[in-house]
Structure 1
Amino acid sequence: MKITIVAGSQRANSQSEKVAQYLGKIAQSSFEQVNILDLHAINLPLWNENIGKGGEEWKPWKEIAEGLSTSDAFIFITPEWHGMATPALKNFLMLSTAKEMAHKPALAVSVSASVNGVYPISELRLTGSKNNHVCFLPDHLIFRDVSALLDQNLHCTKPHFDERCRYTMTLLEGYARALGPVHRDMLEAGKAFIHGM
């Protein structure tokens, strides 16, 4: 099984990328293949109506979409900026389609320098699956006071939180195994209803 972890910060050497590396290590016990996408490094173009025309600007996205379509699960990580998810992650979710994500499980993760972090989770749940039909787990993770939570070697300084992350990764694996047939069987059937009601 394969998981794709998306670090949604637009900053270089971000805390979100560190969280992605930390979760990637944990994911290795549940998934055979772990792929980490750093949206700062990728620098995708903003969604526009030309995406379906396959111009040169969309070549990087085409390669990413092919990788997403072979993923069984996803983790979307965003810092909390002004109480919101980042533009880069929202753009990423707008570019994603049902072909890559429909009926596959996703874990929402937020990163906060202080004690916040709830609002980006709510935002992702509200609109993040609109047309791509990704299935957010009922659980989520919030990395509060992140600079103290992960040390320089990307070890968690709070054993209980580390246990929670490991439990959540096992839960994500369980959802991926259970939803695999749903993606396979319902992707084609759902094409007529891709934009909801």
Structure 2
Amino acid sequence: MKIAIISGSHRRQSQSLKVANHIQTVLNVSGVETWLYSLEDNPLPLWDEGVWDGAQNWVDLLTPLQEQLRSCDALVVITPEWHGQVPAGLKNFFLLFGKNEFSHKPAMIVSVSSGIGGSYPVAELRMSSYKNSRLCYIPEHVIIRDVETVLNEDKSKNDERSDPYIRERLIWALNILQEYGKALKLVRDSGATETDKFGNGM
């Protein structure tokens, strides 16, 4: 089992990356191989037609990332809520990669908010990022509100009620994701999902 962890914030030293690092530790301790990719500092240019045309600059940039994503059985997508939205860089990520990397693989959304928000990015990702990629968001997601008060290495900065709950909830949801990873591998291996005729979702 290998799980990709995508930290969707453009910011340096973001709370999303803090959460991503915690999730990676949880999975690694349980024996799961992980690949963490952060969108910090915008490592991916905005999509242009060169992606479709096979422009060499895009091939050089995307090929190693495509190989990593194809080798993964499941994904954790971590998104902050910026103005009630998913950050542009994370939306761009889903334009640059598609069915060859994500088709019929389970993904779990983790939404991060500095306040009491966090639900809008969940709805946005479920609505708009799966159509052509065939990515399968599992029913469970985790919203981490007041994120500055949980999952900190300095325990004095953690809320004594929220922090244990979030840690336990993440472990529970990640275990479910792993089971979906096992199940959907059987679906992919069956050959039922392979098609040259229906390249895009409806």
The TM-score range, normalised by the shorter chain, is over 0.9
Match of 1:34 in 2: 34
In structure 1, list runs of 5 or more residues that go unmatched.
none
Secondary structure at 2:35's aligned position in 1? strand
CA change 1:183–1:156 in 2 (3 A) is: farther
CA change 1:41–1:185 in 2 (3 A) is: farther
Partner AA of 1:121 in structure 2: V
**Residue of 161, 165, 168 corresponding to 2:170:** 165
Match of 1:192 in 2: 197
Do the aligned partners of 1:9 and 1:89 also contact (CA within 8 Å) in 2? yes
Partner AA of 1:168 in structure 2: A
Match of 1:72 in 2: 73
Do the aligned partners of 1:105 and 1:175 also contact (CA within 8 Å) in 2? yes
Match of 1:7 in 2: 7
Q: Deviations over 1:79-135 (max 9, x none)?
A: 100100011111111111211110000001111000000000000000111111110
Q: Deviations over 1:117-164 (max 9, x none)?
A: 000000000011111111001010111000011223589752122111
Do the aligned partners of 1:6 and 1:36 also contact (CA within 8 Å) in 2? yes
C-alpha separation in 1, matches of 2:83 and 2:42: 23
1:45-56 correspondence to structure 2 within 5 Å: 45-56=45-56
What TM-score does the superposition give when structure 2 sets the normalisation length?
0.90
Secondary structure at 2:46's aligned position in 1? coil
1:84-99 correspondence to structure 2 within 5 Å: 84-99=85-100
In structure 2, list runs of 5 or more residues that go unmatched.
none
Partner AA of 2:53 in structure 1: K
Secondary structure at 1:28's aligned position in 2? helix
CA change 1:188–1:163 in 2 (3 A) is: closer
Cα offset for 1:185? Answer: 3.2
Do the aligned partners of 1:26 and 1:166 also contact (CA within 8 Å) in 2? yes
C-alpha separation in 2, matches of 1:61 and 1:98: 14
Match of 2:24 in 1: 24
State the structure with more CA Rg: 2
Secondary structure at 2:132's aligned position in 1? coil
Per mean C-alpha deviation after superposition, the further-off stretch among 25-34 and 146-155 is: 146-155
C-alpha separation in 2, matches of 1:31 and 1:173: 11
CA change 1:31–1:193 in 2 (3 A) is: farther
CA change 1:71–1:42 in 2 (3 A) is: farther
C-alpha separation in 1, matches of 2:158 and 2:4: 21
CA change 1:153–1:53 in 2 (3 A) is: farther
Partner AA of 2:168 in structure 1: E
Secondary structure at 1:189's aligned position in 2? coil
The share of aligned pairs that are identical, in percent, is 38
What TM-score does the superposition give when structure 1 sets the normalisation length?
0.92
CA change 1:170–1:190 in 2 (3 A) is: same
C-alpha separation in 2, matches of 1:166 and 1:98: 28
Cα offset for 1:16? Answer: 0.6
C-alpha separation in 2, matches of 1:107 and 1:137: 6
